[in-house]
Structure formats: structure tokens, C-alpha cells
Amino acid sequence: MAISTEALIVLAPLIAAAFAGLLQKQIGDRVAMAVTTGSVGLSLALSIPIFASFVWGGGEKQVVELFKFIDVAGFSSTWSVRIDTLSAIMLVVVNTVSFLVHVYSIGYMAEDPHRARFFSYLSFFTFAMLALVTANDLLQLFFGWEGVGVASYLLIGFWYHKRSANDAAIKAFITNRVGDFGFALGIMAAFHFYGTIQYDELFAAAAAQPDLMFSAGGFETRAVELVAFLLFIGAMGKSAQFFLHVWLPDAMEGPTPVSALIHAATMVTAGVFMVCRCGSLYELAPYAAGFVTIIGATTALFAATVGLAQNDIKRVVAYSTCSQLGYMFFAAGVGAYNAAMFHLFTHAFFKALLFLGAGSVIHGLHHEQDMRYMGGVRKPMPVTWAMMTIGTLALIGFGIPGLGGFAGFYSKDAIIEAAYGSHGIGAQFAFWCGVTAALLTSFYSWRLAFMTFEGVFRPNPHAHHHDHHDDHAHAKPADGAAPAHESPWVMLAPLIVLAIGALFAGMVFAPYFLGGANDFWRHAIPFEHGEHQEFPTWVIWAPLTVTLIGFFGAVVFYLWNPGVPRRLAGGPAHTFLYNKWFFDEVYNFVFVKGARAIGDLFWKVGDQKLIDGLGPDGVAASSRFFARMVRKLQTGYVYHYSFLMLIAAVGFGAYAIFAGIGGGR
Amino acid sequence: MNWLEMVSGLREFLRDWPLLSIVTFLPAAGALLVLGARASLPGENPGFDRGVRLITLIVTIVTFIASLLAFAVFDPSDSAYQMVESTPWAFGLAYRLGVDGLAMSLILLTTFLTPLCILASWSIEKQVASYMVLFLILETLMIGVFCAQDIVLFYFFFEAGLIPMFILIGVWGGARRVYAAFKFFLYTLLGSILMLVAIVAMIAIAGTSNIEALAAYARDTGFDPNVQIWLWLAFFASFAVKLPMWPVHTWLPDAHVEAPTAASVVLAAILLKMGGYGFLRFSLPMFPDASHFFTPMMFALSVVAIVWASLVAFRQLDMKKLIAYSSVAHMGFVTLGIFSGTMLGIQGAIFQMLSHGIISGALFLCVGVVYDRMHTREIAFYGGLVHRMPVYAAVFMLFTLGNVGLPGTSGFPGEILTMVGAFQVSVWAAAGACLGVIFSAAYALTLYRKVTLGVIENPKLAGIADMEAREWITFGPLIVATLIMGLAPSLVLDFTNASAQAVASAFSGAEP
């Protein structure tokens, strides 16, 4: 069987993952790293021409079918590689970030004894993500969806000796499963109403009968609203949206390259990808789309507020991710699928950059993650600082309207304007959330930058001193710079590549994503080539204005007057934000404790007292009789019983066989 | 000569062989061999025990090969019973065997798992010969259940299977084995007495004990709907206990906890499937009106089983009990799918039965691996095993994910198909069952964390050894089966398609 290029893109990382995972003892860490990194490099090399053909050439949608997965009574799914504009974007995003993260991890994980396992997981994740984005039906999408979930589970819990890592891994999986509950029901509903789960057929069927009704138990709605709503529940879980966001910050227990790849650039954007992929459904379902808008906008604002008060450098970036995903969702909710995908695209570069930069800082500071014990890192780590600054500027979307700016400027402003210009449900709410969150984003981003890189180094008083290597790095510099060391080039090179993306990805690709040049989208998402919509001047300048306010706020609080935040710490507002609006506490009480209590009730009262009490134990007295019988069996009579049974069975069979040969049909 | 010609040549060659009888009674013949050897070589000696194990293993492998021959002869595109052997017996009854895709797939499951069970029983030291004899008899009886095409013969195999299992638990079981064996016996026996009465009534009404003829009678003439209700309930009593359904499930955790590892595997993997098989073979096609009537009840019981058992599993302190409760939940999907009466639901239920046979079997074997070393199943005793047993941890992870129903493992297609099928009939039942998707992740991953992850705190675990070659060989086929069924479920679904279609059309033919 000849494997097509498209199939090879998806399968190469799987083969490498299996090879590295199964033979890790035999081949050793170096070969495992080379094979996995090489395989993703190959996938990247094969993906770039495909993406380029959609941007500049005449790339056409095509579906490569491999073999049948399931086909029962019309519920059918085929293992496929679907290539269109949407999946081409994702192929480049996933493979670029994955390849860079593989390279970076060679340096970051250099001292880990389980490197082969780590790289095997990374490549497996890449495979599952590629299977997700190239699916041609909802079931393969679900396969990839769960596959990346497992990879995420395994990588969050990679350091399995840590209880906190194991708990975070399980929390991530279960929270995602809550979302999958909706997703699975969405698949069922889609099949029930439209008789297919294959994308094109499904969208056509939904468009053909837009007024099909669903009703159950007195509840009635349009079927397409139900399907779109249920699918979005899945997206909320995977993309850590409000109510189901709780796993993402905890997921930072995993090694930092994992956070960059899975929990920033790729897996968490799968929900956005899904909503865009199913854009044709959301176009028909204004209420479900409104729900998407409102949840997205709420998340964008909520996560940004929490990000203000976190001290762990990775958690700040994690909440920032959560918030940016919210932007993507409300863009999709108001129908600007192109802006959502564009932000997904640019965000992958600068957020992976920020995470890997944070990892570089953590690596340089000997695994210190608390920003209160950082400061003065710029001097010893100039490259990391420069790259992080580019990432920060891209994240806050810095740019001058009409002139140009960093990557995030193009995509974020497009989202905010789309919300302003939309008449969809929740669009105006989303606009204001988006503008406010932009202010907060700027503030917490600069807060992170200043607390980490500027000022005087603040050593951690609780740190236990374990200098197993490079003691010379700990000679305390006199000028207040941190006792850090710059990371090796194998880690810096990926930062530089991502920084190039954060600088130019917006500028270069905006005409295609936003303007639809060269008929870029080719009907992969609902997109209309219209004349450019005119917005009021204040709307166009609002993002830059709030960004500057946020910047100066951070300058005042963290450079000029660092005493102010310390005085605010401990106040009610800070406590509320620091504890992330107390979601974990409430969920823990309601769901975890609740499940335990109900489980105990069913078990100890239901099964043991009621069912067993009324049933078998009620006649337990006769068990003494059985006890005697069994004792006899044990003392040797067992042969007699089994012999009797055997004679009967064999005699029966022998007769049957001999008679059967003669008289059988 | 190409492959297709070889298969058709083989089919031609085997056409007149009583293959099903051979598959069914090969293990019994093996048991006779062991007993003969036991009689001629009195006294205990270790070499003898080793010989017995080896003979048993060979017999079960030969049985598996024989069943593969039957599989090669079988034509899945034909919905009729195949390889039929029929010999008249007394009182109008007949010794009659035959299989369709459903029966064939369950027979293969049985013959596939039994050699693995024998391998897993290598550590049995007590009365090895009797143990192996009982196991072989049990295999004959289990295969017989799926082959039997006469309802009385079916009943014989169905009930006789209780006895070796009762003895296996009662003699080779754990501390509370007597209580467990008694509970198991009492429950299942009570259920089956009612079924016997119903069988007699059916023969009296329809004038035949031939299962195919009974189904034809039900299709063409039909049992009186009022009578159907009673007959359905009598069969339900037996199958619900066997499966088991809520609220007659409490024997299962006790039986599993006390049973030796291999008996647990057989119990979960095959004996439980007899309940699902019974619903598909008798309840739906023969009492379609009653099945329609009871569908809401069956849906309710299925959903309660899924939710209830999952939540109880979450709280268990004993590894085997936890897996036993998870079995109850997974069987809930089977009844849900069957009583949706749709092709999707029925195909999903059959698939779920086969998949659960492999995954739950493998999970009980996983418990057996550490039980053999530490002689306890208490979850709290363990922790951090991955540091000493990385290979075991990987295998256990795979089957944990299978238990969770991860796409790509065999655990997924059955669950999704049953739910899609149920959704057509009742959105709420599908939604309730779907909750199981969340709960299964909670209990399975928590178990995995407690047993394998973290650090080793119990000093007794400091020297625990990883899986040895024999254990590898035991798990290898199960791993392959789980992944193949997970990635290409169509291979199985196409095989059972015709049988499922027959059941679905019998059921929908009676649409009120």
C-alpha cells in the first residue's frame, strides 16, 4: 500500500512515538530524541508546501481516505486525511510548534532520566493532534480529541512521583471528559437528525432543513441549535473556557515545553478549530453562537483578571492563554471565523514563545517559578529577555492602526472590531469584555516582564540549596542581577524562530486570513468577500489606548512604586483574584465531595443494607449448610463431583459426535 | 494457490466435519485425559502438576485452533445458522448445534481467552489437576451455551456452567469464598428456575424446542402478547442476574473478590456475556411485543446501573471490587444498546460484550500480576509500582484507558454505538448513559494513580519484580486484540452484522 504524502504527515509522528516508546531501552535516549524530532521535522517539511499552496498557489480541498473505521446503519466514519485551508493552517501551526518544542526539549530535558518516554509522548501527541485537524467526520475528530487528551494527561503527569502532577493530570482528564459528555451527545444528535457525521454531508443536511425541531420532555428547540450547543460544550472543556477552565492552570505541573506545545499553542485551540470547522452549523444557530460569544467573552475577561494576581510565572501565562482563547471564541461566535483562526495562528507563535521563554527563565534560575523570587534576570539572560519582550508586544497586540505592528495586533484588533460590528447575540458585551481584557492583558504581561527581568534579584528565602552542578553560576553578582545563566542555543534557537513569527506572522498573512486574498479560504469556513467595513475612529484606536494604559499602570506599580502591589496583597479583591474566584473550592465541595458521598450512599446503604439485606443475606443462615458442603468438596470429594459431571458431559458429546457424523445435516 | 482458493479449499474439506461438536467437547476430552492421568499416577508430585498445566494449555490452544477452523468455514454474509448438527433425542428434543455471527464471535472470545487463563493459573499450587479439570469442563459448557440450537440443550449448558464456577470460587477462592460462592449460586439458580418454567411453557405452546424454529414461530405466529409478558419476565430473571443488571448485581463484586484470578477473568469475560446473549437470542426475537413493553424499564435499569455502579466503583478499596463494579456499569451499555432495538444499539452491544471480555479480562489479569506477588488486592497497600514495574505500568495503563472507553481502544466503539442507538429512542437515556463517560475516567484513573504512580511508600514493595515472560505472553494477545478492535472495529462489526440485523428486524417487526 502506497502511503500518500498527506497520510505520512499524520502517521510519521505516530511511528516515531511507537518506536521511541517501545524500544526506549534498546535504542537509548539519543536515538529516541533524534527519531521523534526528525519525524515531526518531516511532517513540518511536508506541511509547508501544502499551506503555501493555499496562500499563494492554487491549493484545492482534497480528502485522502485510508480505511473504514466504523460503518453501521449509516453511522460511518473513515480514517481520512482531509486537506483544506482550515487543516492546512493547523498542519503548519501544529508541526511548527511541535518541531520547535522537540528541539527545545533536547536542551530543557537534558538531565531527565526519562527523556525517551517524554519524546515518545510528545510525538504521540503530535500524531493525535494531526489526526484531529485532518479528520473528515466528527468521529475521527473525537478520536483525535481524546487522543490529545490522553497525551495531555500523560505529559501533565510526566513527573509521576509528584502527587500534585498526578492530581493535575487526572483533573485535566476528567474536566475534559465533562466537555466530552456534551461532544459525544452532539455527535449522537447530529446523527439522529441528519443521518450522517461526515462534515460536508452534515453541513449540507443541516442547511437543507434548517427548521428541523428537537423536543424532549417539554423542551423544544431547533435541532441545529442543539447540535451546535452540545458540540460547543466539548470545545469548552478542551479549550478551558469559563466553568470548565479549572484544569488548565493546574496543567502547568507538566514540564514547560509541554505547556508551550499542548496548553498554549495547539491542543487548547482544538475547540476553536472545531467551532470554525462547524461554522456552517453555527451560522444556522444564532442562539448557540450567542452562547459561544458570551462564554468566550466572559472567559477573556475573567482569566485576565485572575492573571493579574498570580505569582507563578507559568500560571500567569496559562491564564493569559485562557483569556486569549476566549477572544478566539467570541470571534467565532460573532461569525468572524477568519479572525478567530487568524488569532489562533498568531497566538500559537507568541504564546509558545512566551512559554518557552518562561521555561528558559525557569531553567536559568534552577527551577524557580515564583516571580516574587525573580528580578534582575535581563542582564544574565539577554537573548531570553529580548525574545520574551517580542512575545509580550505580540501578546498585547501592540501596533499603530494604519501603519502596522506585531502579530497579535492584526488578529486581536480584527476580533474586537468584528464584535463591535456584529449584531449577533452578546456581540456588544463581547466588544466591551474584549477591550477591558486588552487593558488587563497589557498590565499583567508587563507585570510579568518587569517582575522577572527588571529591578533587583529577590532570592527565595525558602529555597533549599542544592547545587549539584555549575556552582560558579551562583557567585552572586554585585549589581543585583540574578544568579542565572543564559540557556543553551538548542533552547534559544526555537525562541528566535518563534519570535520571527511573532514579529511578522500578522503582517504577512493578514491580507489572506482577513482579506481573503487569493481566495484563501476556499469555502473551508463561512466567509464573505465584502467591502471593508468602516468602524468609528474611537473603536479603531481603543485597543492601542487601553494597551498603553495597561503598560503605564505596570510601569507605575512594578518599576516606580513596587510597594503598592505589596500593600494591596491580602485585601479582599486580591484574595478573590489570587484564589481564582474560588472555582476550585466550590467545585471540590460540590462535585468531588458530592460524588464521594453519593458513591458511599449507593454502596453502603444501597448495595449493602437495602439490596443485600433484603436479598441474599436475609437467608444467610442457610449459608452454614453450604459451608459444610464446600468443606466436603475441599477434602477430596471434588474428584467425585467433577468425575460425574465429566462422564455425563463426555458421554453426551461422544454420542452426539458419532450420531452426528451419521445423521447430521 | 492464492489465499482465497486456500480458504475455499479448506471450507470444502471441512464441510462435513462436526466442527462445533469438536470445538465444544475438545476441552472435556482434555479433562478426561487429565483425570485419567490422575487416576493412574496417584500421589503428589510437582512434575505431575507441571505436566497437567502443560496438557491443559495445549488442549485449550488446540481448541482455539479448532474454533479458528470453524471461523474459516463460517460465512458472515449469511444470516442463517451455519454448521448445523442435529441429532434427535428423547421426548422430541434434539442435540442440535449451530452458530450465527453473534454465537461465533462469542465462541472465539471464549476459546481465545481460555488458554490465557490457563497461563495465568500457572501460580495455582493447590490441587492443580482438579483445578484444570474444572476449567476444561467450564470451557466446554461455555462454548456449548453459544452453540446450542435446542433450547433445552441451551438450558443444560447454561446452568451446568454454574457448578464448576461454584467449585472454583468455593475451593480456590480467597478468605470469604464460601459466602461469595453461595451468593453467586443462590442468585443465579433462583433466576434460572424461572427460566426453566418458561422454557417448558414455550415448548408446550410452540411444539418445538428448536431455537430456530421457535424464532420462526415467534415471527410467523407469535406468542400471545399476554403470555409473552410472563415468558419475558422469566427469562429476564435469569439473564438480568447473569449480566448482571442493577439491582441484582451485588453477587458479582463478592464473587470476583474471592475468585482466583483466572476464574474472575472467565466470569467477567464470558459468563456475564451469557446474559446479553440470552437477551439477543431469546427475549428480543421471541418476545418482541413484551420487549417493546419493557423497553422503558430496561432503559431505566441500564442507566441506573451505569451511574450507580460507576459511583460505587469510585469508592472501592479493593482492586477487584472496583473492576467488578465497573463491569456492572459497562454491562449497562450492553442492555441499553440491546433494548434500543436499533441496528446501531445491537451492534454496539455485541461489540461492547466482546470488548469488555478482553478489557475486563486483562484488568483482572493485571490485578492477578500484583496479587501473585503480594497476596493482597487492597488498593492502599500499593503505590509507586511504576518505579519497579515500568512494563506492568504501561500494560495496566493501556487497559485502564480501554476501560475508560478511549477511542483507539476496543472500549470506545461499543459505548458510542450503544449510545447513538439509544439516542434514537430516548435522548434522556443516552444522556444518562453518557454520564458514565465522565465517571469511568474518575474511578479508573484514580485507581491507576493509587496503584502505580507516586513514590513507593510501602517497604514491602521495594523488591517487587516486573512482569516475567509468561505474563508477557499472557498479555500480548490481549493488547493486540484491544488495539485492532479499537482501530478497525469494522472487522468485527461486519462479522456480526447479519445476526444483529436479524434481531433488529424481529424487534422492529413488532412495533406497536
Write the pLDDT tens digit of every residue in A554-572.
Answer: 888 888 887 777 777 777 7
Q: Are B296 and B233 in contact (CB under 8 A)?
A: no
**What is d(CA A327, CA B198) in angstroms, rounded to the nearest whole number?**
65
Which position has the grid cell 477572544?
A: A327
Regions of chain B where pLDDT drops below 50: none
**pLDDT over 90 at A628, yes or no:** no
The overall average pLDDT reported for chain A is: 86
Range of the domain at B235: 3-508
Distance CA A156, CA A169 (A): 5
CB B185 within 8 A of CB A627: no
The rounded distance, in Å, linking the Cα atoms of A305 and A578 is: 9
Nearest chain A residue to B423 by CA: give it.
Answer: A188
B251 and chain A in contact, CB less than 8 A: yes
For A488-508, what is each residue's pLDDT tens digit? Answer: 999 999 999 999 999 999 999
Residues B228 and B234: their CA atoms lie apart, in Å, by 10
What sign results for the dihedral spanned by CA atoms B239, B178, B257, B166? negative
d(CA B40, CA B63): 25
Q: In A583-622, which residue ranges form alpha helices assigned H by DSSP?
A: 583-587, 593-600, 612-614
Task: Check if B176 contacts A (Cβ < 8 Å).
Answer: no
Nearest chain A residue to B393 by CA distance is: A160
Q: Cβ atoms within 10 A of the Cβ of B63, count? A: 28
B36 touches chain A (CB under 8 A): no
pLDDT at A277 over 80: yes
Please say whether the beta carbons of B165 and B263 come within 8 A: yes
The CA distance from A140 to the nearest CA of chain B, in Å, is 9
Q: Which residues contact A242 (CB under 8 A, 6 or more apart)?
A: A236, A295, A298, A299, A302, A326
Is B449 in the A-facing interface, judged by CB distances under 8 Å? yes
Question: Per-residue pLDDT for A638 more than 70?
Answer: no
CA gap A553, A565 in Å, rounded: 11
How far apart (Å, rounded) are the C-alpha atoms in residues B512 and B507?
Answer: 10
pLDDT band at A1 (very low <50, low <70, confident <90, very high): very low
Residues 6+ away with beta carbon under 8 Å from B337: B344, B345, B346, B347, B348, B349, B352, B414, B417, B418, B421, B422
pLDDT of residue A456: 84
pLDDT digits (tens, 9 = 90+) for A31-84: 999 999 999 999 999 999 999 999 998 888 999 999 999 999 889 999 999 999
CB contact under 8 A, B315 and A641: no
Nearest-5° angle of CA B237, CA A601, CA A170? 105
Cell of A619: 437467608
Assigned C-alpha cell, A132: 484531529
DSSP per residue over B316-345, as a string?
-SBHHHHHHHHHHHHHHHHHHHHHH-SHHH
**Identity of the residue in A181, A595, A664 whose CB atom sits nearest the CB atom of B434:** A181
Query: Cα–Cα distances in Å, from B205 out to B191, B201, B209, B224, B440?
Result: 22, 6, 10, 10, 45
* Whole-number pLDDT of residue A614: 66
- Do A664 and B85 count as a contact with CB atoms less than 8 A apart? yes
User: Three-class SS string for B227-242?
Assistant: HHHHHHHHHHHHHHHH
Q: Distance between CA B249 and CA B325 in Å, rounded?
A: 9
Residue type, B190: L
Which residues of chain B does A184 touch, with a Cβ-Cβ cutoff of 8 Å?
A: 416, 419, 434, 437
Give the E-state strand segments of A267-419 in sequence order. 399-400, 404-405
Q: Quick one: pLDDT at residue B447?
A: 93
Confidence (pLDDT) at A351: 94
| Confidence check: pLDDT of A444 > 80 | yes
Q: Are the C-beta atoms of residues B285 and B345 closer than 8 Å to each other?
A: no
The secondary structure element, H or E, covering residue A643 is helix A638-663
- Residue A664 binned pLDDT confidence (cut-offs 50, 70, 90): very low
Task: Flag if B21 and A643 touch (Cβ within 8 Å).
Answer: no
Let me know if A476 is exposed, middle or buried by CB neighbors in 10 A (0-12, 13-18, 19+).
exposed
| % of chain A surpassing 90 pLDDT | 58
- Chain A residues within an 8 Å CB radius of B342: 73
Please indicate whether, in this complex, the C-beta atoms of B314 and A630 are within 8 angstroms of each other. no
- For the stretch A643-662, pLDDT in tens is 555 555 555 555 544 444 33
**Can you state the angle between helices A115-133 and A138-156, rounded to 10 degrees?**
160
What CA–CA distance (Å, rounded) separates B124 from B170? 15
> Torsions phi, psi of A254, nearest 5?
-70, 165
| Cell triple for A7 | 497520510
How many residue contacts between A and B have a Cβ separation below 8 Å?
A: 240
C-alpha cell at A556: 507605575
Chain B: residue nearest A143 by CA?
A: B407
Looking at residue B421, its amino acid is: G
Cell of A467: 547545587
The distance between the two most distant Cα atoms of chain A, rounded to a whole number of Å, is 103
Percentage of residues of chain A with pLDDT beyond 70: 88
Q: Which amino acid is at A454?
A: E
A51 and A6 Cβ atoms separated by less than 8 Å: no
Question: What Cα–Cα distance (Å) separates residue A143 from each residue in A97, A126, B358, B405, B487?
Answer: 21, 13, 21, 11, 10
Give the mean pLDDT of A303-326: 92
Q: Residue A143 has which C-alpha cell?
A: 478520536
Residues 55-94 of A with CB under 8 A from B: 67-73, 75
Bridge partner list, B96: B86
Provide DSSP, B445-473: HHHHHHHHSS----GGGTT-----HHHHH
- What is the distance in angstroms between the Cα of A192 and the nearest Cα belonging to chain B? 6
B97: part of which helix (H) or strand (E)? strand B94-99
Beta strands per DSSP E along B221-281: none
Counted residue by residue, chain B has a size of: 512
SS3 for A56-125, per residue? Answer: CCCCCCEEEEEEEEEEECCEEEEEEEEECHHHHHHHHHHHHHHHHHHHHHHHHCCCCCCHHHHHHHHHHH
Please check whether residue A600 touches B, CB under 8 A. Answer: yes
Q: Is the pTM of this model over 0.95?
A: no
**How confident is the model over A143-150, as a mean pLDDT?**
94
Q: Does B185 touch chain A (CB under 8 A)?
A: yes
How far, in Å, are A52, A648, B56, B85 from residue B19 at the CA level? 61, 20, 20, 9
DSSP 8-state symbol, A400:
E
Neighbours of A34 (CB within 10 A): 15
Q: Which residue of A has its CA nearest to B25?
A: A653
Cα–Cα dist A198/A71, whole Å = 12
Q: Which amino acid is at B299?
A: F
Alpha-carbon gap, residue A360 to A487, rounded angstroms: 6
Rounded (10°) CA dihedral A579, A582, A587, A589: 100
Question: Within an 8 Å CB–CB cutoff, is residue B87 touching chain A?
Answer: yes
Task: Give the three-state DSSP class for A518.
Answer: helix
In chain B, which among 346-405 make CB contacts under 8 A with chain A? 347-348, 384, 386-387, 401
Q: How many domains does chain B have?
A: 1
First to last CA, chain B: 54
Farthest CA pair distance, chain B: 69
Q: Which residue type, as a one-letter code, is found at position A628?
A: R
**DSSP assignment of A213-278, as one string?**
EEEETTEEEEHHHHHHHHHHHHHHHHTT-TTS-THHHHGGGS-HHHHHIIIIISGGGHHHHHHHHT
For residues A262-268, give the mean pLDDT: 91
> Residues B466, B44: contact at Cβ < 8 Å?
no
Of A87-96, A459-468, B22-31, B250-259, which gets the smallest average pLDDT?
A459-468
Per-residue confidence (pLDDT) for residue A318, from 0 to 100: 92
Cβ–Cβ below 8 Å for B384 and A665: no
A214 alpha carbon, distance to own chain's centre: 31
pLDDT range class, residue A464, cuts 50, 70, 90: low
Per DSSP, the three-state class of A480 is: coil
pLDDT digits (tens, 9 = 90+) for A326-336: 999 999 999 99
Q: Does A586 touch chain B (CB under 8 A)?
A: no
Residues in B closer than 8 angstroms to A606, CB to CB, are 308, 312
